[in-house]
Chains A and B, each alone.
Chain A
């Protein structure tokens, strides 16, 4: 098969953060190519460069024709489209208040004597949608349809652009099985017509069903590309997570006390419709429980459910044998839970407020508004945690956003430790922070469980979870598929559990 697009040595930085370093991608005519990688691996950045939304700092993209070979650097999405690169993004980026037909012809309206030819556009839109097996009123506003249909309209539009390369970024996440089937049928058709298709999805089953080849990225770097039929699932997962299967039989086993402790927190068939299926989970004192699974497997959802941010739709939660209702964060905190949420910037830090205020806020909230901590008490708490946790800041009055990511995260941990919680829920506590701070935070987690606290840890890097946890619950497709305890706990075991589960 002939190469249709070749990207080489693509690098891109956002400020100090390197999103892509020397990444390559080769697409052939008549193939469906998957781009795989964990969250933050650089998939989105690469796609945005191909579709003209970002510009690469360095590197070449070449479009290969029958006899031609031209270097391209699209400066806008529209330019990319005119070059034959058509992209459908995860979030529908069409205009909700325009009709379906208008959206399909947005930016390339059909005209007759300078006037919009509505009739022709409606017919064209109908034809484009019919290819996807969709028969809807093309004169209705886009926003009147559910997200799945809107997504299909976006796909129909992209298909109609006479593209040579079609990029689909997580477009199936809101589609049901039937819709995915009809999409796949169209993709196979397009493939036989000689289109190159990039298909991104976190559903491994779909990848293996539809794709021919895969390029894996990790931490903004190119790991390799393979023919999928020659790459078993466990291999693919380990390439994404950055661990060879046979490596690392870790040597931790510093805490075997978990067996002795009875569980104080029990979840029985706890679930939230559409978010996580019923699961059972026990949590013991002095134990670190890791949650493993790919991104989107339901790890964060489980944690949000435990903390009352999301509400359960069925099941029970028992603390010390008594059933407890946790309806919001206040309930959770009152029961000794603490949560370091996934996204530090939007869910944790209070920008503009000082490190001191950020640390004392949770404690203050628990004490009600009239029982303010005096400034002296606040200073005492803040400086105690700043020195105990080695938070690097000139003083406690620095605005928190001026600290580095790792130090911000330590301050957030301090916020919760000030409450002396019984259970710490840590959702990606080491995301986006440097190696040194990462190690310190993981050490802290172990110290805490040694002191008898329970910790639930989610981390994208499997190696981290396995190293720190006493026990690991494995999730896949919003379902808990198993649990691993020492001595059977290692990365191999986790990966094969994910790969083999239906």
Chain B
């Protein structure tokens, strides 16, 4: 079974568990033409993570990693505030441009200077966060522009705009990757970068593109995060986002060593992480247990996906039968 379906199964189990504990869990109601309910809430809250994790999926598929996405989100949010005077569109453009710049910088460190991805992005993780704080002057800057804030707060056809952004991003990205050869090239570089050199596939170009895309998606996530709370906090916006994003990718069935990737799996992975968080919050589990519970769930899911465990499982079953 493809690993992405494992993560879907895990997600469904988690949701069902919630429904058992809280019969009203699956209920969706409509107020003022907008949908409300736990499911919508989980989907909405996982938007920044999904966006970041989509970009991270491509980076990980090439066998790399991007630690700078959280800082990039903060930096992009800060860039947007500089351009707010020109309206929401210019703010959005400024954010995306900021993310693009960081991603390109990462890509160049890795391809042109030959730095290891973990080192290169660690450098920009630190420096980009610093840059965000510089732009904001060390302050938490409130966002007052109502049309820009609408990105993270309003709804369209009853569904939050942020969710539409995710749906749209997923569609565009999968079309872009699967209808062209880009997806195959990314997987080829991740599966065997030396062999890609022998077939004349420019792995450097591929890497440059994926890190740039990761920067763009992190920026988009920064926009959603900051408009949702109507403020940009250079110190805390997107803090530890990179860790959750890596986790989402791995839970979704994409291997850290690179190769085959699954965007859908990543979406499921991000939803799982958010569901766990929401469950802990709503079930009255003590907050200080949050990280431990999260860790347990993650360990369980990763074990369920591992080939060694599945081999062990088959052997146990065969042993029981014979």
Q: Which of B194, B195, B200, B260 contacts A328, CB < 8 Å?
A: B200
Which residues of chain B have C-beta atoms less than 8 A from A372's C-beta? 179-181
Q: Which of B180, B191, B192, B201 contacts A365, CB < 8 Å?
A: B201
Q: How many residue-residue contacts, CB under 8 A, span A and B?
A: 78
Which residues of chain A have C-beta atoms less than 8 A from B180's C-beta? 369-370, 372
B312, CB-defined interface residue at 8 Å: no
User: Would you call B181 and A362 a contact (CB within 8 A)?
Assistant: no
- Stretch of B4-12, B23-31, B48-56, B182-190 that contacts chain A: B182-190
User: Would you call A352 and B194 a contact (CB within 8 A)?
Assistant: no
Give Cα A351 to B198, complex, Å: 15
B147, CB-defined interface residue at 8 Å: no
The interface size of chain B toward A, counting residues with CB under 8 Å, comes to 21
A161 vs chain B, min Cβ distance (A)? 37
Which residues of chain A have C-beta atoms less than 8 A from B192's C-beta? 346, 349-351
User: Would you call A341 and B191 a contact (CB within 8 A)?
Assistant: no
B5 vs chain A, min Cβ distance (A)? 16
- By beta carbon, the residue of chain A nearest B205 is A369
Taking each of A309, A350, A367, which has the highest tally of chain B beta carbons within 10 Å of its own beta carbon? A350
Q: Do A341 and B201 form a contact, CB below 8 Å, given A353-B191, A365-B185, A369-B180? A: no
Q: Mark B244-256, 1 if CB is under 8 A from A, else 0.
A: 0000000000000
User: Would you call B185 and A333 a contact (CB within 8 A)?
Assistant: no
- By beta carbon, the residue of chain A nearest B189 is A350
Q: Mark A365-409, 1 if CB is under 8 A from B, else 0.
A: 111111111000000000000000000000000000000000000
Q: Do A347 and B184 form a contact, CB below 8 Å, given A330-B202, A353-B260? A: no
Which residues of chain A have C-beta atoms less than 8 A from B200's C-beta? 328-330, 332-333, 362, 365-366
A94, CB-defined interface residue at 8 Å: no
A364, CB-defined interface residue at 8 Å: yes
User: Would you call B187 and A329 a contact (CB within 8 A)?
Assistant: no
B320, CB-defined interface residue at 8 Å: no
B259, CB-defined interface residue at 8 Å: yes
Q: Do A339 and B184 form a contact, CB below 8 Å, given A350-B191, A351-B191, A351-B259? A: no
Q: Do A349 and B199 form a contact, CB below 8 Å, given A357-B184, A361-B184, A361-B188? A: no
User: Would you call A309 and B187 a contact (CB within 8 A)?
Assistant: no
B185 vs chain A, min Cβ distance (A)? 6
Give Cα A315 to B195, complex, Å: 27
- By beta carbon, the residue of chain B nearest A339 is B198
A126, CB-defined interface residue at 8 Å: no
Q: Do A365 and B199 form a contact, CB below 8 Å, given A346-B194, A350-B188, A350-B192? A: yes
B182 vs chain A, min Cβ distance (A)? 5
User: Would you call A347 and B191 a contact (CB within 8 A)?
Assistant: no
User: Would you call A364 and B184 a contact (CB within 8 A)?
Assistant: yes
Q: Which of A341, A349, A352, A364 contacts B181, CB < 8 Å?
A: A364
Q: Mark A64-92, 1 if CB is under 8 A from B, else 0.
A: 00000000000000000000000000000
Which residues of chain B have C-beta atoms less than 8 A from A164's C-beta? none
- By beta carbon, the residue of chain A nearest B188 is A350
Give Cα A348 to B198, complex, Å: 7
B197, CB-defined interface residue at 8 Å: yes
Which residues of chain B have C-beta atoms less than 8 A from A332's C-beta? 200
Taking each of A367, A368, A369, A370, which has the highest tally of chain B beta carbons within 10 Å of its own beta carbon? A369
A348 vs chain B, min Cβ distance (A)? 6
Q: Mark A326-344, 1 if CB is under 8 A from B, else 0.
A: 0011101100000101000
A415, CB-defined interface residue at 8 Å: yes
Give Cα A341 to B195, complex, Å: 9
- 9 A-B residue pairings within 8 Å (CB atoms): A309-B197, A346-B194, A347-B194, A357-B184, A361-B184, A365-B185, A365-B200, A369-B185, A415-B199
- Which A residues fall within an 8 A CB radius of B? 307, 309, 328-330, 332-333, 339, 341, 346-353, 357, 361-362, 364-373, 415
Given contacts A346-B194, A350-B187, A357-B187, 10 further A-B contacts (CB under 8 A): A328-B200, A339-B198, A341-B198, A350-B192, A350-B195, A351-B259, A353-B191, A364-B181, A368-B181, A415-B199
- Which B residues fall within an 8 A CB radius of A? 179-182, 184-185, 187-188, 191-192, 194-202, 259-260
Top 3 A-B pairs ranked by shortest CB distance?
A330-B200, A352-B259, A329-B200
